[in-house]
Amino acid sequence: MNKYGLIGNKISYSLSPKLHNLIARELGKEISYELIDINEKEIVFYIKKLKDKEYAGFNVTIPYKEKVMKYVEVLTGRAKKIGSVNTLYINDEGLLVGDNTDYYGFSKLITINESIKDVNRAYILGTGGAAKTVFNVLNDLNVDVINVSREKMESKDFNSVITYEELKEVKDIDLLINCTPVGSILHKGVPIIKANQKINKVIDLIYNPLKTDLMKLSYNSVNGLEMLIYQGLKSQLIWNNIDLSLNEEETIFNVIKEELINEFIW
Ligand code: NAP
């Protein structure tokens, strides 16, 4: 039985063990999947366990998606481009590989929710790991992207970063994407938006609750559950070197979505 885990900090809320056990069941694999709630100094200790084959792979979450990159010996093209790693494993040469499956997860979310493709300009709230992934997916789709930060800043990772004060001046927002923790069950609230702003479409990467207060501001809104499932599925396909057709992936996705949805608050 292969052993996997999620490396992060303050992750007791995470449903990744449940998600990964469901995915493994659908792939016909027996696995164990642990929450590895550690401080930064302990990362190196767990990487040694991966090299010693005690674990077969790790996912990485807040706040280590960028911090683990310094230990990685082979960075995949997409992880390098985005600057964020959420999947680790050891390759046949014994080298630590860092990959990013959030890119795949968000791309699938866009594919599933057809209408989102027809936007010219998107505003991304936040400038962290998820914001970088979302920026890269949309940039690759030729969408004009503006990030929004609590701080006035210039960043080589994005095209343009404005403040929430500047966002308040935009009357008609085509697509707004929340890549901050604000609105989750652990961090209640709505990222700062003016009441009379027209927001056509909202994507919230949060999935618990399934309908955040921000999503209620638009008739066309999507949560992060589809992204969550597809990034997890992609990690397991990489770890197990499995190639599935899009139809096979979709069948697994549908089964898992139906079972997992009961775990969340509406
Ligand atoms: P992160 O690296 O910690 O970045 C979050 C960003 O949000 C920060 O860079 C910050 O940007 C902004 N932020 C933080 N606290 C805030 C506050 N109190 N008010 C307003 N803005 C705040 O986290 P992440 O990995 O990008 O994840 C962000 C969210 O996306 C989390 O809720 C995570 O669970 C979710 N997520 C979901 C999926 C999925 O599969 N659905 C995948 C990845 C992440 P500024 O400092 O520039 O304001």
3-state class (DSSP) for residue 118: helix
Which tokens belong to 177? 């994407």
Q: Which of 7, 180, 234 to mutate to test the pocket of ligand 1 (most atoms within 8 A of CB)?
A: 180
Report the alpha-carbon distance of residue 108 to residue 106 in Å, rounded.
5
pLDDT at residue 203, rounded to an integer: 97
The rounded distance, in Å, linking the Cα atoms of 122 and 234 is 26
| Residue that the structure tokens 């991966």 belong to | 50
Tell me, what's the pLDDT at 17? 97
Nearest CA to ligand 1 atom 17: 182
pLDDT of residue 67: 95
Position 194 scores a pLDDT of 60
pLDDT, residue 114, reads 84
Q: Is 143 in the pocket of ligand 1 (CB under 6 A)?
A: no
Q: How many residues are given for the chain?
A: 266
DSSP string, 233-258: HHHHHHHTT----HHHHHHHHHHHHH
Residue 177 neighbours by CB distance under 10 Å: 28
> Residues in the chain with pLDDT < 50?
none
65 is an active site residue: yes
What's residue 192's pLDDT? 67
Sheet with 198-204, strands from edge to edge, namely 161-163, 144-149, 121-125, 172-178, 198-204, 220-222
> Tokens 């996705």 label which residue?
253
Quote the pLDDT of residue 264.
Answer: 75
CA of 162 from ligand 1 middle (Å) equals 16
Check if 101 has its Cβ closer than 6 Å to any atom of ligand 1.
Answer: no
CA-nearest of 171, 139, 172 to 157 is: 139
Would you say the CB of residue 214 lies under 6 angstroms from ligand 1? no
Query: Taking a C-beta distance cutoff of 8 angstroms, is the pair 139, 106 a contact?
Result: no
Q: Which amino acid is at 139?
A: N
Closest by Cα among 185, 252, 76, 197 to 87: 76
The answer to whether the beta carbons of residues 178 and 206 sit under 8 Å apart is yes
The rounded radius of gyration (Å) of the Cα atoms in the chain is 18
CA of 248 to the centre of ligand 1 (A): 31
